[in-house]
Amino acid sequence: MVEINKLSKKYNKNEILKNISLSINKGEVTAVVGPNGSGKTTLIKSILGLVKLNSGSVEVDGINIKNNFTYKNNIGYVPQVARYPENLTGNEILSLVKELRTNYEFSSQKIIESFKLSEELNKPFKNLSGGTKQKVSILIALAFNPKIIILDEPTAGLDPVSSSYFKDLILEEKEKKKTIILTSHIMSEIQELADEIIFLLDGEIKFKGTITSLLEESKESKLERAIAQLMLRE
């Protein structure tokens, strides 16, 4: 579903991604992990077409994203920090997105009820708590039935009940054969949700494979300890 070939990205002389090639499969949750500054966010922004590549290519659902924006209609994106027009209510933001995303199936009621958002959506976005802003961001990303879901620290600010519901929701989306890309610093969350894991360090892929294979290779039962071993090797 997502094919990255020899991707490199520099900011001035700082090389953030170094000749990365990888495939991200349909119907799986793929986690991208690594320490701060490893290139995770730049990789996500490359798939979203938010940065200009120095070299290499990105294909989404068979479409080369260079000079193309239509592929983004198939993506639901939850950023680490939700930023929407501050003076609009949640309902007004939803209406705005509906106008932009025409001809797409829209289904929001289940998410609204589970996150208890009915009253919150009538308030200006600036007046919402950080956790509620994140819930609105999740709602906007998933309500339009995207083929690809990109989640950047999605449970940041969520209470335990909302976080648990969110995980169930993602597993339901996986059952629908969606392509899901997840970044998180919570290794237990990744171990619970992800099929494959990509470990980035200094802009290079140091491991790509199933979580099961990484745990077996490291002889660890917890993912955070297996990741710590990878970091200590370098």
The whole-number pLDDT of residue 108 equals 86
Q: What is the pLDDT of residues 20-32, one digit of tens each?
A: 999 999 999 999 9
Query: 34's torsion region: left (phi>0), alpha (psi -120 to 50) or beta?
Result: left
pLDDT per residue as tens digits for the range 116-130:
999 999 999 999 999
Specify the CATH architecture of the domain 2-233.
3-Layer(aba) Sandwich (3.40)
Confidence class for position 4, pLDDT limits 50, 70, 90: very high
State the pLDDT confidence band at 234, using cuts at 50, 70 and 90: low
Q: Which two tokens stand for residue 9?
A: 């990205």
> 3-class secondary structure for the chain?
CEEEEEEEEEECCEEEEEEEEEEECCCCEEEEECCCCCCHHHHHHHHCCCCCCCEEEEEECCEECCCCCHHHHHEEEECCCCCCCCCCEHHHHHHHHHHHCCCCCCCCHHHHHHCCCCCHHHCEHHHCCHHHHHHHHHHHHHCCCCCEEEEECCCCCCCHHHHHHHHHHHHHHHHCCCEEEEECCCHHHHHHHCCEEEEEECCEEEEEEEHHHHHHHHCCCCHHHHHHHHHHHC
**Chain segment 57-67, per-residue pLDDT in tens:** 999 988 899 88
CB–CB of 119/157 below 8 Å? no
pLDDT at 29: 96
Q: pTM for the complete prediction? A: 0.91
| Domain residue extents for the chain | 2-233
